[in-house]
Structure 1
Amino acid sequence: MTDEAAAETVLPLVEEALRVEKRAVETGRVRVTLSTETVEEVLRETLRTRTAEVERRPVGQTVTEVPKVRQDGDVLIIPVVEEVLVVEKRLVLREEIHLRLTDTERSVEQPATRRVQHAAVERVQPAAEAPEG
């Protein structure tokens, strides 16, 4: 064997390559038609209002502790006290606030316009299958 033949041997390498392609195929069509109509409606709702009547009632009574807020029927009574400096310090119930809450209701009507849409869906043939003409 010669030195040239022993020195280099070339082996060809082969590789297969794959190619993937995709294409869009129309299988059907849909036509959507929207129609809008106007509907007149009268909205009805009951509205509630709360008012408060405040009546201040002087008491002028000496107490040993702050009275608690209390409920008398539909009247909420809130004690108001102050410290008065005399020879000794006393807690005096100066007044009570009588708070009466009144609820009233009234019905209101308000015309309003709203829009309503309807959709009609129709299946049509694909372009490739559509008859000519």
Structure 2
Amino acid sequence: MPVSLRSQTVDVRRFAINRPVESKYEARQEGDTLIIPVFEYVPIITMQLTLKEEVHVTTTVSQQEVFQNVLLNTEELVVERRSGAQGEWHRDDEKNE
């Protein structure tokens, strides 16, 4: 019986940036990679917002067709008819189409 298996992996990599920025910005998507900025306030003579690092989260999806052996249940129906109200039961081998 054919079944479909699907898996998804996530690769998380950190890139040190350490670059001063003027203001915060939102996470962004580049292809299959979600880039999440990580900010911190660094005390200098004045407080300055610095982009500390970016976290790149890449999603990879894989799918494969596999065959799986499964046990299938079967049933058989036997029809028996009776000859009259008090008669004996006998198997009805007649096939109605």
State TM-score, norm by structure 1. Answer: 0.55
CA separation of 1:126/1:73 partners in 2, compared to 1, >3 Å: closer, same or farther? same
Q: Which of residues 82, 89, 108 is equivalent to 2:40?
A: 82
Offset at residue 115 of structure 1 (A): 1.6
Residue of structure 2 in register with 1:65 after alignment:
23
Q: What percent identity do the matched residue pairs reach?
A: 32
User: How many residues align structurally?
Assistant: 87
- List gaps (5 residues or longer) in structure 2: 89-97
1:21-62 per-position Cα deviation (integer Å, ceiling 9, x unaligned): xxxxxxxxxxxxxxxxxxxxxx22121111122221121122
* 2:75 alignment partner, SS class: strand
Residue of structure 1 in register with 2:62 after alignment:
104
Counterpart Cα distance in 1 of 2:22 and 2:85: 94
Counterpart Cα distance in 1 of 2:24 and 2:79: 75
Offset at residue 98 of structure 1 (A): 1.5
Offset at residue 95 of structure 1 (A): 0.8
* 1:120 alignment partner, SS class: coil
Counterpart Cα distance in 2 of 1:109 and 1:74: 29
- List gaps (5 residues or longer) in structure 1: 1-42
Residue of structure 2 in register with 1:95 after alignment:
53
Larger RCO: 1 or 2 (CA < 8 Å, sep 6+) = 1
1:2-21 mapped onto 2 (5 Å cutoff): none
